[in-house]
Amino acid sequence: MAATAKRPEIIELSRDLRGVPHCEDYERMISGMMYNPNMPKLLEARHECRGLSQDYNNFDAKSISYDKVFEKRLELLRKLCGKVGDGTFVEPPFRPDYGCNIIIGSNCFINWNLTVLDTSLVVIGDRVQIGTGVSLLSAGHETSILSRQKFVEFGHPIFIEDDCWIGANAIILPGVRIGKGTTIGAGSIVTKDIPPFSVAIGAPCRVRKTIQSAEEEENDPNNPYRNMVRDH
């Protein structure tokens, strides 16, 4: 359902993002209130995103050496998204709606065919990995037929916290928060919040078990990963 008032914390989070079309309609949009997506500043923002997405997805990797591709991809990604941390790589094709409403943390890896309807903010933490064909959908619609005839919609923010793994073809719906360290199984449809350190699968997605935190794993002498060293 749509919100009835603006969300100051979401608006504040958007303040320092690249390319944000700050206006009354934008603030209503990211706050989850009903809004018209065909207002001129919103149309202009989506149009800009289409051009930047084209640049990102059509970049000819053969034009530079393999050891420069990561750096160039990050440069293009930072022109497309609101904010991107160091060490993050997104395989093309990548399909955002506004782009400027997307925050991606550091050292993330996102595989092919990520779709992000960033009507509201979509915030991805550090060291998140996302499989192929995932959809992060912050946009929502009422069941009211009249709302569609009036061409109004809403969006609620999505948060994916640090150290999560989102399996291939998962769908994350509006307003969902996925807690730190959680794994979402391939093909899952996430309709509600998932708590930290969970393994959750299914349609709708449900928690099947909980797991240790990284700190608990480090302190577990039987953990097979504790002595492994990253090579980069």
Q: Clarify whether 141 is annotated catalytic.
A: yes
Q: What one-character-per-residue DSSP string does 21-84 give?
A: --SHHHHHHHHTB-B-TTSHHHHHHHHHHHHHHHHHHT--GGGS-HHHHHHHHHHHHHHHSSEE
The arithmetic mean of pLDDT across residues 117-143, rounded, is: 97
The answer to whether 111 touches 131, Cβ cutoff 8 Å, is: yes
Q: Which of 22, 47, 141, 232 is catalytic?
A: 141
**Which residue in 24, 21, 19, 17 sits closest to 41, CA to CA?**
21
The pLDDT of residue 212: 87
Query: What is the pTM (predicted TM-score) of this model?
Result: 0.94
Q: Where are the domains of the chain?
A: 8-218
Please identify, in words, the CATH class of the domain defined by 8-218.
Answer: mainly beta
> Contact, 87 vs 68, CB < 8 A?
no
Separation between Cα atoms, residue 178 and residue 165, nearest integer Å: 10
Least confident window among 153-167, 186-200, 217-231: 217-231
pLDDT at 231: 61
Model pLDDT, residue 61: 87
